[in-house]
Structure 1
Amino acid sequence: MRAGSLLKPLAAVAFLPLLACGDAADDGRPKPKPAEMQARIASPGTKVGEAPLSLARVSTKSGEILILEPDGSVTEMDLGSPAGRDAFAVTEADLAALNANLDLDLGGLVAASVPDRQTAQEKALEEFAARAQPALPALREGAEIAPEMFIAAKVDALGDTNGLVEVTANLRQGVDADIAFSYATCALAGWADRNGAAYGRHIRTLQAERNGKLLIGSAFTMSQDKPLGLRVMETEQTLQDCRARGIPVA
């Protein structure tokens, strides 16, 4: 900065800590005022990040202002001169610009490599998702699926408004529990497809043996929006998985 291109009216002047007049010396007398004080000054009306602060020294005796420019040069002016008064003049427009620049947008101050911190809610949802299981259980190694395993299945709606349904499935005795549950879920997916239900959230499954057969009773709540749940049946995807495994749908 040169005398002909001095700072525009400044939006902010930040003075470094100075010795207060009331500070006392070791002998109890007030310490003399410093010969200079330092300040950082910045011009308004520029974009964030494009106006680096300049370092200035103000002489408390002569009233001179020494401004250290970004290029290393020093600009001198008298504090009482028109240029010196202009350097520290603040207009209402400058104050408005300063207020706008004080908005809490700290994006430019955060290193790009630093990851965002998770909120407690986001962390809880992530942990919940990690515990979630697919609609059809993974089959144990060596498990085989044969059509004669599956005898019959039906879906009953338990009420008109709460979306609660129960799936009853009959299978051959000795069928693996995961295959039995998959059969009940596939039966539900077929029913949901016919009745326009997009999702089913598993609530509980009961298993018993009766008359030489394996009896499965599974309860689900149906919805159009994907619910939170540890095991959620998505109709279209589940139908594809059932057909791929060779499990019939009701």
Structure 2
Amino acid sequence: MVTAQSLGLMPLVGRPELSTAAYTAHGGDLLVGGGLSLAIAGTSTLLACLIGFMAALIMMQGRWCGKLVAAMSSLSIPLPHIVGAAATGLLLADSGLLARVFGTAERWPPLVGGPWWAAVIFEYAWKESAFVGLVLAGTLATRSVDYEETAALLGAGRLGRLRHVLLPLSLPALMTSGTIAFIYSFGSYEVAWLLGRPYPEPLPVMALRLYNSVTLTSRPEAAAVAVVTAAVSLCAVLMALAFLRKIPLWR
């Protein structure tokens, strides 16, 4: 239905006519928005996977710090991203908590609404790292103990066990959870809408703006942006599946 509307086959006004005008009406902004969305989602997903992997290793230790990290991760999962975005804005804005604590409001970098979209990336990385960490901890808890003990008996050090045991065992779960985090970061609009710049717009923010426009002809353009977003997400899933099929543990 959305694809048909983007191609002019289900117009709100006028006669149906096959056309790609909705895709070319904002061609330049569509490309810029797509690149921006990929940069935000890719950077935040890489950070989430790195932080989540380290958090999972801490959870696997079974000590009080691991239990604390697990509890904090579990508490952050149910929080909606809109709440996380509001908390991030109150924390990182030039009039926020950190700027007041350090007394550097005038010299505080533009993290919220700045050119590097730092607050948006921080919020996605924070929220999704908790998800990645819990998934990896659950995976490693059922697989890694025997292998790690065997590697230790054979003389492998900590770095050796990390490289040859923990990382290969966690790779399928890391790839799967990272793909989920990427798709969500790429397709959600609320965090970028609250913490980002007015221009350029990520694809979800552009789709929402066009959909809510008073001009009825903008509805096919919003549908076109949504179709592009869905197509990129589908490509990410297919690439992840192709990569997973090459991992022996997945097979």
Common fold: TM-score over 0.5: no
Which has the larger Rg?
1
Which of 1 and 2 has higher RCO (CA within 8 Å, sep 6+)? Answer: 2
More helix by share: 2
TM range (shorter): under 0.3
- The TM-score normalised by the length of structure 1 is 0.23
